[in-house]
Structures are given as structure tokens and as C-alpha cells.
Structure 1
Amino acid sequence: MKKAGAGASASNEDGGGVIKTRSAPPSIEIVEHRGVGSLGSGGGGSISFSEPWREMTPGSGSGHGSSDRRSGRDLPEKRLTLFALRLAVLEKAASGLGKLDFAWATVVLLGGFASDLKITDFWCITVILVGEGARVFSRSHELEWQHHATLTSTAGNALRSSSRFIRHVAQAIVKPRTTAASLARVRAMQFQRQIVDLMKQRTWHAPDVPLLPYTGWVFVSKKISRLLNWLQMLSALACVALSVMRLWMQDFEDKGKDNMRPALLLFYTLALLEASLFLLEKVYWWWKMSVRKLLDQVSGECELGPYGLVSLKRFFYDAYSQCIEGSIFDGIKMDLVTFAEELILSDFLDEQLIGVRILQQLATSKGSARDTLRKLGTNPRSIERVVEMLNWKRPGEEEVRQCAAEVVSKLAGKRQNALRVSGIPGAIESIMSLLYTGRGAPTSSAITTKGAAEQDRIYDYLQFNLLGLRILKKLARDHDNCGKIGNARGLLAKIVEFSHASPALLLNPTAADSQVRAVKRALQVIKMLVYTTGGTGKVLRRDVAENVFTVSNLRAILQHGHQHMELQKLAMDILTGMAMDQRANETIAGTGGVVKLLLSIFFNAQELELGREAGEALAMLALESEASCAAILKARSDVIDPLVSALERHDARCLNAMRLLRNLCAYSGQEHRARLSAVTKAMPAVLGATIMGRDKILEVSVGLMTQICNFMDGEKFAAELRGAGLDERAYVQRLTGILRQYKYPVVNVPRMRRFVVQQVVWLMTSPGCGRFMELLRDRELGMERLLEAIADTTSEVECYHVFSGSVPISRHRENFCAIVETALHLLAAGSRGGSEGRFD
């Protein structure tokens, strides 16, 4: 079977593909067994089409990976919610004391001693009450203004930096190798500009509402929070100053009122405590936010990138508001994932951008991805919204769409989440919208403004193409999703279009990596589709083959892709899978140059894995296809001799050479029989593999031996045995030993017993094999008992060449039970007939 090679390790950046495993390859090595876990280069893992396999149970492979750091320790955002809780404790304590002080002053002092108070105390009390009342009863409203101000905390700077943004973008185009820091600044300014441009809705945006007419920017809502904050600070400072002054002087006049002095002392003390707690809250806020840079620390730990401060500031105010408005413990129940999910469901694009950016950063972060995807995957509304965002095609929504595509790509990496994504009505069509290339877009005359045309020209279609192909590749790991991809109108043709690679691209060593990656991902998706099991796979293989560009695109990659061996391997894997369909097999054989290229790669490739892939494709093409066998024999005049020589290499190509030789001998037809007689030169190598080989090598060597024997008689066969240092008895003992070892059908070598029994029948029917008949009837060797045991244990698995999963596709021409009965009949009758004993 195929093993994980350079392709598997090279495609980690795609987050998907297949795991290939190879020990001793099976007879016809093609079927792709897609694991649900990590993926390699081929988009499907490998198992044999010549052996049935059981699909993995639902969910298997989806829970693996490194342990989640967010689950193993406190979430970084917990530091913000804890800070919000502590601030809320101070705030509520100050507000409680303020309300008590307010009630004490109004009921006791002003209600009971108003006429006896000194004018100084009266005005101090009045000023303190007005300040405290305004602060306490307006605190919730001040928080509301602060909350609205954070909706677009960068909007003001964005307007001033729009010209700088254009300049930085121009510099980035002229100097593509900019530093990471400058790129981050450009992206941050782009983020700000998008917020300002995209928040233009049919309704007013809260931070920009003008409260009074003709006042311009002075009385907009985002300025009010600052005003209220400073007023509260001034109120608290005035309260502290007045309270300290009166407590220090204590020149209270009693005028016969025994309780007035302690009442005033209590009032000023409560006012001082309330104002001090409020100022302590502000100092604590300033210390954590400005000195300790709490937001920067949490942003770094959450790996939110250059937009972390904007997002976390909004998150903190939401948590703080909840602690203030309800229980102090309400805010600590918040986390960034839930917060982001609420934002993406908003009607304002600036909020949606913040929310989807948080999800994108958390979903791609190694420490938080697992927990984020688990929570997001259980919220149908959130999944529907991010899938809906894939259709947002306006240039100003490019950032939102890109982040949503990356989130969907990560979601599709988990099997259960992939099923939820594909289950959304229109989801496949939304993903298909990412594959739009911009070719055939409306001309500038059809675009309303010059600015819109310029934005459309700089729209990065390729990055969305790559994301769309990656999402499709991950979805295609599930059988049902492959059917949905195939049924989506125009999607398969679009994927095939991306598999086109021009010679200029393939032969250019400095070609853009993104362009090559797009071709690679398209090939991976096609490979996964053609290796789909069951009836769905049969339809998909036919649909892929019916696209007139598919084989031509693959031929171009084989012809010019010498610098991209991974692409060549994928192309040959696709040809191998397509060849399982008879109509596709004929299409491949009938396309000029494909067979010749495969033979050239098989014989000349320096990279063994590449040669092995070519051999598998050729072997599958030749299976039960007379037309393909004829095309292989016509492609090179000396095709048999190099194949015989390959058997002596004992490398990865040896097994595929035996497969190809066997299929050519079995299915080429009588007109090529004379040319195929040269296959007898392979007898020594095949005998050695029969005697020393195991499992799949043994299976295919016995099968090839049966076909070689059709070109000789018993005497020549006995002479070949003696030339290899064997006699008739040793060979018959080897055959009986194989049957004893495989008393029952074995899934990984389902044709082992069939090939051995076919060889036994040939030994009993070929002229000049009288000695073999005696040995086969020898009770000491026990061939008859073994055949009787086989007759009682035959299985349907042994009646097919090819399996698509556990579904058989290509049936042997002769039933295995009939072959066993023939062998038993010949043994019983002692027949020495002269029939050729040819088998498929």
C-alpha cells in the first residue's frame, strides 16, 4: 500500500489530505482510504482496490491532536472578567454608600436640621448631594455611553489615517518584501478603514448620532462618555475636598440640637468613603489598563493579532456592564467565543468584523482552536452566519469574508462540524462562490463608479480560491459530502478548471507558490472525489472523466511537472482512480500521450515513489481492458523487456511491474500473444518471489506465474524449475504450503487462493505435466483435502478484482467455486488433458 512520503509532510499547510501507508502493496493498488484525521498530499489515504475495507466509525479520528492549552489552564480573557468583577465590587460599594449618604442627608440633615445648619454646611451638603446624585444615578447611563463608544473605537483614527493607508498600500505593492511590522500596520489601517466604510447602514450608528442640531462632532454620542467620565471625576474630587475640609474643621453649631453634630460627622464620613472608593476604582482602572497594560497582555496570550485591543476593549466593557447592571458574577460567565458569536449575529458590519476576526484568530491559534471549534460547532446560528458571510462579495467586505472562510475551513476539519456545515441549505453553493476567479467580470463601463472599479481590480480572488478549495478538500473526506459536491451545479467543472497548470507555470522555478498551491488543492479534491466509495464514487468517477479538460490537464502536469513531483503523484493517483470506471479507462487510453508518459515515468523516474505511482496507474488501466493493454503495448516497442528487467530491481517498482505484466498477459487478446511470449524471461524472478515472497508480493507473483505458464508446456516449466534449483515436488509442496497458510479468505490478499488453485489446474491440464499430477494426487501432500476445505470456505470477496470500500465493482470472469470444482474433478479423474487452462 502507499506510504506517507514527501507529499504527506509537504501538505501540512493545507490542513488536510490523506495518510498513505504501504507495506507490501496489493495486486492492484489504488483505492483511497480517506482517514478522518490528518491528511497528506493525495487527498485520500491509500488502501487497495483489490481488497475490501471497512470505513471508520463516525467520529473516529476527529478527537485527536495535541491537548488544548485553553482547557488545561485559565482562559486569558478570565483576567479581564475578573478585573471587571473587582471593579464592579468597588463600583457597587461606592454606589451603595452614595445612596445611603444621599438618603441620610435628605431625610435626616435636610429634613430634620435644615433650618439649624450653618450656611457653610448647607451648601457643602447641597454640592455633595448634587454631585453624588448625578454620579450614582447616571453611572449606568455613563456605562451605556462608554459601551457605545467602543463599537468603533478606532473610527476617529481611521478617518485621519485613510490617506496614510493608501500610501502604505502603494509602498507595499512597490516593495513586496516589507517587514512584518509594516504589514501589520497596513492591515490594521485596512481594518480601521473597513470599519468606517462598512458601518454605513440604513439606520443610524450609535457612536455617530448627533444629539443636537448644528453642533457637528461636539455632541455626538461617542464624545458623551468622555464628558460624563470627567464630570464624575470632578464630582468625586469635589466631594473628597469638601468632606475632608469639614471633617478637619468640625466647626459645627449645635443650637440645642444634640444629634446634629454626629449626623454631620456621619454624612461627611460616608461621603468621603464613597468618593474615595470611586477614586480608588479609577486608580485601579488606570493601574491595570495604562501601567500594567492588561489589554495588551491578554491580547498577546489570546493571539488576537493587531486587532486584539479593539476586540478586547469591547469585550471588557460588555463584561463590566453585565457586572454593574446585574449580579457582579454575571460578567465572569462571558468568554471570547460566546462574545464573538453574538457580534457576528449583529446587523452592523463593524461588529461583525470584530466578531469574525476573534473567531478566526481563536480558531487558528494552536492553544485555543480545539475549544473554540467545539463551542462554535454546537451553535447552528453561528455556523449559518459564517457560511452566509462566504457570499459577501463587495470589496469592502473582503476582510469579513476572508475571516469567515478561514473559520469555516477550520470547522470543516472536524467530521461532525463538517457534516453540520454541509447540512446548511446552500452551504456548498456558498463555498463555491469562493472559487470565483474574476475572469469574465463586468467591464468598467458596467461599474457605477471609478472607485468601485479600482476596488474590484485589487480584490484578492486567489486567496479566496485557495480557501474555497481547502474547505472542499476537508468536506470531501466524508462520503455524503462528496455526493453533495458532485451534485452542486457547475462545481465539479470549476474544480477541474483549477487543476489546469500551464507549461509556463510548471516550468517556472520562481512561479508564485499560491498558484501552484491552487492547482495542488484542486487535484487533491478531484482525487478524493474519484476515490469515493460505493455508487456515489461510481457516478463521480464518470462525471470527472466526462469533463473534456480533466485528462488533458493531468497530461500537462505529467509532461511538464518535473519540478513539481507532488503534482505529478496526484495526477497519477487521479488517473488510477478514474481507470476503475470502464468509460473513464477508455478515455484515458484514448487521450494521446498519457500512456506513453506513464511508461516513461515508470521506467525512468529517479524518485521511487513517483515510479510506483505510475506503475499503479498503468496496472489499473490494463485491468480487464483490451483497449488499454493495446495502447500500452503500442506506446513502446520494447515494453515487455523493461518490465521483465524491473522485476530484478527488488525496489518499489518491482511489484507494479508484476501486476502490469499479469494484466497484459491476461487481457491483451490473441493478436498480441506472440509479442507477449517474451514474458517467459521473467520466470526466474517470478519463481524466486513465489518461493520467498509473502502476502501481496506472493499473491501477485503466483498470479503472474499462472499467466506465464500459458506460454509454455509442462516440460519447459519443469526445466525452468530445475534451472532455479527446484524440482516438481518442491514446487508442489510450496503450493500446498500456501493453501495451508491461507485456510480461509484473507481480506488484504483476497485473490491468493484463486491464483494458487488456477496454477494447480494448469499443472493438471498442461501437456507434459504428468509428474505434477502424481504429486498433486499424493495423499501425503494432501492437495485434495486442501481443495475440499477451500470449497467449503469460498467467499464473495474472492470473486472480484476491485473494491470501492466494501462494495465490489469488477467481477472475475470465472467464478472461484467453479475453478475449485474443476480442480477437484481433475484430481478425481486423473485427467491429463491438453487444454491451455487460461484464466483471467
Structure 2
Amino acid sequence: MRAATGQRVQAAMAQRTCGEHHEATPAKQLNCFVRSIALIERVGNALGTLAFTWATVVLLGGYPTVLRPMDDFWFATTIVFLEAARMFSRNNRLDYQVFFYTRGAVRPVGWNGLLVVVCLSNVLVNLIIMTRKKRKYSPTVMDEFRRAMITMLILTAAIRQILSVGALKLLSETLRRFASLWSPLVAIILLVPPMTYGNDNFSIGEWMVFLLLFLVVLLLTVSRLRYPRIIKLVDSTLGRKLASWRRLILNLCMLASLVMVLFVQDDPVCLGLMMGYELYALVVVSFGNLQIPAAIARVVLALLRLVPHNYYGHDMNNPAKMNLGPSLYIFYGMVLGQGILYIVACLFEIFSFFPRRSIARRVGFRGQWGVECINLYYAYAFEKYMNGDVLAPKKMSLNRFAMDCLHSYSPKMQLHGVRIMHGLLQRELSKTRTFSKLTTSTETMVKLIKMLDWTSPENSTVRLYAAKVIAELSKSLRVTAIPGTVQIVSALLNYGNQHKRGNPLLDSDGEQGEVYDSTLNITDNIEKCLNAVSGSGNLLETQEDSTGQLRSFRHKCWILRCWQRISESWEIPQEEPLTEQALLPVLAMTIIYNLAGYDQDNCLEISRASELIPKIIGFTSYCRSNTTYADAGSNVLVKSSLKLLNRLTSIDGEIGTTLRHNISRHPFLLGNLAEILRDSTSSPELRKLGAGILRNLAVDVNTRQEIGRIQVVINGLMQTFLMPDGLSTSTNADPLLRKVAGQALAMLAMDSIDNCLAMLREKRFAFIKELTAIIHLDRYRCVSASLLRSMCLHARHELQLSDLKELSYALREVLEKVLVANRAEIGFLVGLSSEICKTVPDDFARELGHGQIKQTFVKCLVDALNENMEVSDACPEISRSILEQTITMMEYDSGYASYFNHHHMSKALSMMEQMACCSANYNIFVGDARLTEAKEPLSSLVARAKQLMAFR
């Protein structure tokens, strides 16, 4: 088992180079794009700094008296102050991002921006109508109107920053939802005054359009109220499919209101003002900061002086103006170049949407969190390229970004970091590289392990994904390098664990507490995960996911089909919902399972962990109501615990012996396993795992006897093993299940008279007859041979005449299989033939004689003994079985001695006598641990055989 794990790890390491190449490709493309934008901005910054120095030293310092005050002086001064603001704000990263930063210079208008434009446009048109009602275009009124217009322009430029993510977070969730819910309706209602007083020629048709618009927005607003009756009423009125288009319909209504604003008055001047304002507002709300306006200002100021280039005025021969023209040419040229570079960088940044979506799709990130993670990586890479070396930039990767996020002090960034790690580990192309990066960083591994110990409710999502990452990394993790790992993982088993039912005579009410597990309700946890990564979207609106409903009827509209084809290149798949596999106890048991399969030292740490084994066994309670999980979650917990116990009970060496002892002494384990085997409706996998645990525990003599006392276990194993494959039901359809059940029976019958009698006395089966039939099947031959041998050895006096006849019928098959058996089978088959020889000796002798295989059979025994002089842990009983067969044959008929002498058995016995060691006295090995000692030492058997050969 451990060797197979090592081979898998080596295979993964061998494929790492290929994985690195494929995984680096999408990140490399985005990195090149980001580096290009950063390089353009840095060149623009360099030109700006040089222009600032040139203006302050050469122009304002060298020509302060000859620069004309009406143009060049104030142009240069304005540019100097503008550049100084950029340079000084760069010392503070937050200020620089707010005012002068290419990344985020342009952002989508979005729902918030559209709503702001609509509301402000309606407010402005109301102001215009109020102004006209006072006195049409009088000087006083026009002054008031101009002041109001300037105020609206400034307010429009500032309101998008006022409604930024940070500002909205200062508001309560209730207030944000109230604004999101009623703002569209308020925007429509603001159309009523201008429609009533602004245009006297408004027709009934136009009023009907407004009324229809109002009713649609009202209905959609009411449908968002969280009342079941209202939701049911809206669904019955609009239909579920139409309700899923709520956001699109609202956007169309807001656009329609913008168009209606232009026609609520008949004055062409007001119409032009409104059209200009709406265009201005749409442009302004799309600005993320002042980078583009400042760049446009630089270009305009530079062109205003470069195009006329009358720098000398009327005093061209003034010596003080020598070289003034070239100096101004150079200055305005640098300013023009700086502005153009900034504009180009901002245009490139707009198209960064496509490589960002491309890498999200290629890496496999899903949903809103995937988009935000890539956006954060984009910002991270841009920041690194802006602050790093130009000619030798640092290498960027999602792995490095995830690790940096993990070590940040921001809970949000830590969540993104651990989710990126989990996402990369789910993709084959990126798994090997991520696996290598994380496992070689002890600091990162320690951080992930510590996250498992974060018990506060707000950290539940981070802890959940940290457990998922550790579950992947634990396949190649040595816990000795990180002390306390097993204890921390063990603590995860407390979340949502069984309700303790205390003894009424020992416990008082209120003493037993329950540990809360945030993953109990899978649906709620999905919403929590989505909310945890939100914050960069529209916080004014309530998050609504209607994409899934839209997809259900996209095929009905050819327009949607065309749109789907266009959007395939950038659409991000929806995030997969969390399943029961995301339960913290399931993840904890997965981690322990992987640790136990990787390294022996890990097994030692697991055996030393206090209360770990009882916690795991506690989840094997099958079909009982003492867990806080739903049925699906309970089934996963049972399966995970059985799978883990199956691995722990199969550990080699002394550590495995200790683990099996600790597991077997739990008072409720055998009862839980018996319940699983007894239930015929349980899944084949659960029954297979339960039988495997019983098989592994039965290597211990005392545990074997304790299991045998539970008749339900014996009955369940016999029913599973003896059911023919062709007649198997759904619970026994797995051939491996049947084999494992047979192995468990074979281990229970070994050296146990009571267990053999319990199996033989089971009335529902003709046990010997069934076993002699099964021995013809290659898959179950060793198991059935071992069971028949144990029956003949320990329950011979209970065998009926019919049983003896079945043994006689099967004898020829056994002898023929001995002649062609491989090393794994020959020990069991020879052991069986030896016991059959003792049980029905006359039939045995008759078969050897009639089949004319006496010489061949003896030669096969001698050759097998010569080939198996050394005892192995896989087949420890081969030499013992051959010696017992030899002794039995010679005790029955001394004539067999001559056959053995003819084939040099004496020489083989002498060699065996010289090589005999204490390990040959044991029948069962688990690794290097010797578990079951034979009743008669191997040296005694050799001596008896030699004595019989010499005597005869």
C-alpha cells in the first residue's frame, strides 16, 4: 500500500515539468499584458518627472521674466502643479490610486452609475422647469440656473466617488437594501413633474408609455420584497422565466427614462442642455479616477501651445529669450508625450478584461469569486511591475500571489489566497506545480495548519477552504515537520459531532454543550462563501443570481443563442455548489487518511493523538439520530470514518499493532459494524469497508474471539460471501465486497474453534458445500481454501457425512490446482489438502493413486519446499503447510517415504533445519510485526519429518 503511494507521488513528480509549462501559459500571457501597461505608465511617469524638472529648473528658473504671463507662464505653472500633485500623491499608494492610477482609470457604468445618471438627469430637468416657471431666461434666473448647472456638474463628478465601495460600507445593510430597492421607482416618479409642467403637448400615448414604465418598475420592485405571498403573486403574474429577467428589464426601463427626459419639454435649448448633460454624466461616471481627465488636460494644454508656437511674441531679438523656443518645444513635447502615453495605457487597461477572463476560464476559477481573484491578481501584478525593476522584473504567478495573500493581515485576502490554492489544486495542469510550491514552503504550510484552528464564526469559510487545501497536500506531508498538526486536525472532528447523551444519573442539564459547525447547512454556507468574496460589485443592489434560470430557456431565442456564442470567450462558469464532502469532519478524516497512507512517522503521530480514535469511531454510528447532520451528510460521515478506520487497521509494523489495539478496544465499534452488515439496504461500499475493518482487526487472537461472539457479524459476512455473483443483489453486486467478506471469515476462522463452529452451525447455508463450489473460482480460491482448512482443522468432529463427501469431491480439484499453483496459492491449497488427508485419508490416497499423480504431487511438494526456504511476510505458511502434508502422508502410508527420498526431500529438510528461525513459528505477519504464533515450532515439524523418513 505504501509502495503504491510512493509510486503515485513519483509519477506526479515526473509530470511536474509538463504541468509547469501548461500552467504557466495563461498567467504568462496576462503578465505580459500587465507589464506592457505598467511599462507605458512608467515611461509616462518618467516623462512627467523630467517635464516637471525641466519646467522648474529651465523654464521657471531660467526664463521667469521673459515667459509671457498670458500664456506660457501660466501654462507651465498649471502643468507643474498638475505634475506635482501626481508626484506627491505617489508617496501614498491609496491617494495615488484615487487620483492618478492607470489601473481603474475606466470602469463600467454599471447599475449604480446608470441609476445615478437617471436620478441626476431627472433632478436637473426639474430644476430647468422650475427656472422657466419663475421667469423665462431673465438675467437673475439665468445666473441661478448657471450656478445650479455648475453644481450639478460638480455633483455628478463627485457622486460616483461618494457611492464608492468604501463609502457604501459605512451604511447599514438595511439602508443599502432600502436604497437598492426603491431607487428605480423614485427615478421614475421624478418624471411626473416635468411631464406635467414641462410640455403642454404631451399626448395620451406618451402618458400610456410612462404609465406602463411605472407599472413595470413598480411590479419588479414589489417582487423583490422578501414576503412569500408577494413572491408567489409576482411569479403567477409575470411567470418565473420573466421574473428571472428582472435586472435586464430594470436596465431597459432606466434607459427608457433617460430618453423620456429629453422629450418632456419643447424648448430646443433645454433639449440640447439635457443631451449634453446626459452624455457628460455617462462619461464622468465611467471615470474611476482623475488619470484620464488629467491626461486629456496635459494633451490639450500642450497642443494649445505647440500648434501656434509663437513663443517669442513681438520681442524675438531679446537676448534673454535665447533658446526659449526650443526649451518650450521640449517641455510641451514631453507633456504631450506623457498625456498620450497615459491615454494609451488607459485604453489598454480597458481591454485587460479579455486576458483576465481568459485566464479565469483556463485556470478553472468559477463564479464571482473567480472574477475577483483574477482582478486582485491583476492588481497585484500591476503593483509589482510598477515598483519593481524595469529590465529585470520579478516573476509573477498565481501560486506566489496566493501565498502572499495567505500571509496578509486582511481576512478577505486570506480567503482569496486559500481559495486560489484550492482552485489550482483542482486542475491537473496546475496541480503539480502548486503542490510543489506549497509543500516546499514550511511557512505557508504552518499558516494553513493554523487556519484549521480558527474557531470564530467569521473565519468559518477560511477554515473550510484551508481544510480542503490541506486535504490535497496531506498526500505528501510529514507532520513531524509541523508539530501539533494531528491535534489540530483532530479538533475539526468536534464540529457538528454527535450530541452527547449523558447518563441521567451522572450528568445534569446544561453540562453537555454542542460545538457549532458552519457547514451543517450546505445552502447557507454557499451564501456565506459568496458574501465573503463580494465587495467589489454593486453594493447598492441586492445580489441576484438569475443566470441559471436564464440558461434553461436560452435555446428558445436565436438572439440569445448568438449572444451565447459571442460571450463564450469571456463568460465565467458558475461556481459549483458545496456538497457534503465539504463538511469539516469529512475533510479532517480525509486529511488523516492521506497522512496515514504517506509516511510511517505520520502513523506514529496519529497513534499518539489523544481522543482521535474515539472521535473517528463515533461517526460510524449507522442510521442513528445522534448527529446534527442531514441524512446525506450522515452517510458521507459514516463512509469517511469507515474508510479511515480501514486504512488505520491495515498499517504495518508495531505502529499498526498499536492502532488496531486502540481501535478494537472501543466499546461501540463492533456493534456499529454489525449494524452496517446487518442492514441489507446499506451500500456495497459501506459493507465492504466494514468487512475490511473486521478482517484487519481479526489478525489479533483476542479481537478475533470477540468478533466471533457477535452472530450478526458472522451471518452478514457469510451471506455476503456465499451469495453467487450471478444471483447477487444490488447490495452484493461488487465482487470485491464478496472477496473482502470471505477474507474476514477466513481470518475469523483461523485458530478459532468457536468461530468455526459458529459458521458451520449456520442453518441457512450448507457451508462446506458452498465452499467446495467456490474453490473453483480463481478470485476466491485462496479464501475458500483457507476456510475449508480451518473447518477441517477445528470443527472436524462436527462435519456431517454430506460434508465429508463434498470434501472428497473437491479433492481432485485441490490436487490439480496444487500442481499448477503460484506462490500465493500453494500455501493455502497444500494446507487444505493436508487437512483433507487427515479428515478423509482413504479418499486422499485413492485420488493420488487413481489420478496417477503420486510422483508428480510429491515432486511438486519438494520443489515448493526448496523454493520457499525463507519465510516471507506475504506467504509465511508455505513451508509449514508442505511439512504438515508430508508428515500426514507418511503417517498414513509409510510407502510415501520412498517417493520423498527419491525426490531428495531429506536434503531439503536438512537445509530447512539449518535455516529455521523464530520467524518461521508465526502464521501471520503484518509488515514486520509477528502476530499469530503456530502451536508447533517449525523445527519440530522438520524433526518429525526426518524421523518418519528415516524410520520408514
Aligning the two structures, in what range does the TM-score lie when normalised by the shorter sequence?
Answer: 0.7 to 0.9
Residue 771 in 1 paired to residue 721 in 2?
no
Partner of 1:249: 308
Partner of 2:585: 465
For 1:309 and 1:401, how far apart are their aligned partners in 2?
22
1:483-632 mapped onto 2 (5 Å cutoff) = 483-502=604-623, 514-562=633-681, 564-606=683-725, 607=733, 608-632=735-759
For 2:520 and 2:8, how far apart are their aligned partners in 1?
48
* 1:133 paired residue among 69, 84, 95: 84
Partner of 1:21: none
Counterpart amino acid of residue 63 in structure 2: F
Distance 1:819 1:720, change over 3 A: same
Q: Does the CA contact (< 8 Å) of 2:909 and 2:946 recur in 1?
A: yes
Counterpart amino acid of residue 413 in structure 1: K
Distance 1:232 1:436, change over 3 A: closer
Distance 1:142 1:794, change over 3 A: closer
Residue 105 in 1 paired to residue 55 in 2?
yes
Q: Does the CA contact (< 8 Å) of 1:757 and 1:823 recur in 2?
A: yes
For 1:162 and 1:583, how far apart are their aligned partners in 2?
67
* 1:276 paired residue among 330, 337, 342: 337
More deviation, 809-818/82-91: 82-91
Instruction: Give the structure-1-normalised TM-score.
Output: 0.75
Counterpart amino acid of residue 622 in structure 2: A
Partner of 2:111: none
3-state DSSP of counterpart to 1:437: coil
Please tell me the root mean square deviation across aligned C-alpha atoms, in Å.
Answer: 4.3
Q: Does the CA contact (< 8 Å) of 1:323 and 1:331 recur in 2?
A: yes
Residue 289 in 1 paired to residue 350 in 2?
yes
Q: Give the deviation of 1:135 after TM superposition.
A: 2.4
For 2:758 and 2:500, how far apart are their aligned partners in 1?
43
Partner of 1:390: 452
Kindly provide the CA deviation profile for residues 375-399 of structure 1, in whole angstroms up to 9, marking residues without a partner as x: 1112222212222222334443332
For 2:767 and 2:49, how far apart are their aligned partners in 1?
100
RCO comparison, higher one (Cα < 8 Å, 6+): 1
Distance 1:154 1:396, change over 3 A: farther
Counterpart amino acid of residue 652 in structure 1: R
Q: Give the deviation of 1:618 after TM superposition.
A: 0.8
Partner of 2:184: none
More deviation, 363-372/668-677: 668-677
Partner of 1:267: 328
Q: Give the deviation of 1:578 after TM superposition.
A: 0.4
Partner of 1:340: 402
Counterpart amino acid of residue 340 in structure 2: L
More deviation, 668-677/359-368: 668-677
Kindly provide the CA deviation profile for residues 267-323 of structure 1, in whole angstroms up to 9, marking residues without a partner as x: 344333334334333333333434753322222223232223322333333333333
Partner of 1:836: none
Kindly provide the CA deviation profile for residues 35-75 of structure 1, in whole angstroms up to 9, marking residues without a partner as x: 453xxxxxxxxxxxxxxxxxx69965663668653334634
Q: Give the deviation of 1:787 after TM superposition.
A: 2.6
More deviation, 59-68/320-329: 59-68
Partner of 1:77: 27
Counterpart amino acid of residue 381 in structure 2: A
How many aligned residue pairs are there? 717
Kindly provide the CA deviation profile for residues 658-696 of structure 1, in whole angstroms up to 9, marking residues without a partner as x: 101112333448677999756455423322222343333
Kindly provide the CA deviation profile for residues 532-589 of structure 1, in whole angstroms up to 9, marking residues without a partner as x: 1122211211221111221122112212244511211111111100001122112211
Q: Does the CA contact (< 8 Å) of 1:387 and 1:427 recur in 2?
A: no
Partner of 1:3: none
Counterpart amino acid of residue 132 in structure 1: E
More deviation, 593-602/136-145: 136-145
Counterpart amino acid of residue 685 in structure 1: E
3-state DSSP of counterpart to 2:924: strand
For 2:765 and 2:388, how far apart are their aligned partners in 1?
86
Distance 1:233 1:636, change over 3 A: same
Partner of 2:440: 378
Q: Does the CA contact (< 8 Å) of 1:745 and 1:793 recur in 2?
A: no
Residue 817 in 1 paired to residue 945 in 2?
no
* 2:910 paired residue among 770, 788, 792: 788
Q: Give the deviation of 1:440 after TM superposition.
A: 4.1
Distance 1:36 1:728, change over 3 A: closer
For 2:906 and 2:226, how far apart are their aligned partners in 1?
83
For 2:227 and 2:493, how far apart are their aligned partners in 1?
26
Could you tell me the percent identity over the aligned residues? 24
Q: Does the CA contact (< 8 Å) of 2:360 and 2:374 recur in 1?
A: yes
For 1:167 and 1:751, how far apart are their aligned partners in 2?
76
Counterpart amino acid of residue 436 in structure 1: Y
Distance 1:733 1:162, change over 3 A: farther
Partner of 1:310: 372
Counterpart amino acid of residue 421 in structure 2: L
Q: Give the deviation of 1:353 after TM superposition.
A: 1.4
Q: Give the deviation of 1:474 after TM superposition.
A: 1.0
More deviation, 336-345/326-335: 326-335
Counterpart amino acid of residue 413 in structure 2: E
3-state DSSP of counterpart to 1:244: helix
Distance 1:438 1:746, change over 3 A: closer
1:731-742 mapped onto 2 (5 Å cutoff) = 731-739=857-865, 742=868
Kindly provide the CA deviation profile for residues 776-798 of structure 1, in whole angstroms up to 9, marking residues without a partner as x: 344xx333233333334445554
Q: Give the deviation of 1:169 after TM superposition.
A: 11
Distance 1:279 1:719, change over 3 A: same
* 2:837 paired residue among 709, 712, 722: 709
Counterpart amino acid of residue 432 in structure 1: A
Q: Does the CA contact (< 8 Å) of 2:814 and 2:829 recur in 1?
A: yes
3-state DSSP of counterpart to 1:293: helix
Q: Give the deviation of 1:516 after TM superposition.
A: 2.8
3-state DSSP of counterpart to 2:932: strand
Which stretches in structure 1 are left out of the alignment for 5+ residues? 1-32, 38-55, 186-224, 506-510, 831-840
1:347-386 mapped onto 2 (5 Å cutoff) = 347-386=409-448
Q: Does the CA contact (< 8 Å) of 2:585 and 2:637 recur in 1?
A: yes
Distance 1:465 1:289, change over 3 A: farther
1:18-417 mapped onto 2 (5 Å cutoff) = 33-35=1-3, 37=5, 63=13, 68-72=18-22, 74-119=24-69, 120-141=71-92, 145-146=96-97, 230-251=289-310, 252-253=312-313, 254=315, 256-258=317-319, 260=321, 262-290=323-351, 293-306=354-367, 307-328=369-390, 332-414=394-476
For 2:633 and 2:708, how far apart are their aligned partners in 1?
32
* 1:655 paired residue among 757, 782, 789: 782
Kindly provide the CA deviation profile for residues 91-131 of structure 1, in whole angstroms up to 9, marking residues without a partner as x: 33223222332223222322232222222222222122222
Partner of 1:760: 886
Kindly provide the CA deviation profile for residues 486-508 of structure 1, in whole angstroms up to 9, marking residues without a partner as x: 33222212211222222899xxx
Q: Does the CA contact (< 8 Å) of 2:831 and 2:881 recur in 1?
A: yes
Partner of 1:212: none
Kindly provide the CA deviation profile for residues 450-497 of structure 1, in whole angstroms up to 9, marking residues without a partner as x: xx9999995698622222222121112133323333332222122112
Distance 1:117 1:310, change over 3 A: same
Q: Does the CA contact (< 8 Å) of 1:35 and 1:61 recur in 2?
A: no
Q: Does the CA contact (< 8 Å) of 1:696 and 1:749 recur in 2?
A: yes
Q: Does the CA contact (< 8 Å) of 1:647 and 1:682 recur in 2?
A: no
Q: Does the CA contact (< 8 Å) of 1:501 and 1:519 recur in 2?
A: yes
3-state DSSP of counterpart to 2:930: strand
For 1:247 and 1:517, how far apart are their aligned partners in 2?
75
Distance 1:438 1:748, change over 3 A: closer
Counterpart amino acid of residue 85 in structure 2: A
For 2:512 and 2:721, how far apart are their aligned partners in 1?
53
For 2:753 and 2:802, how far apart are their aligned partners in 1?
15
Q: Does the CA contact (< 8 Å) of 1:683 and 1:720 recur in 2?
A: yes
* 2:816 paired residue among 688, 695, 715: 688
Q: Does the CA contact (< 8 Å) of 1:790 and 1:820 recur in 2?
A: yes
Q: Does the CA contact (< 8 Å) of 2:37 and 2:349 recur in 1?
A: no
Q: Give the deviation of 1:758 after TM superposition.
A: 1.8
Kindly provide the CA deviation profile for residues 609-629 of structure 1, in whole angstroms up to 9, marking residues without a partner as x: 332222111110111223322
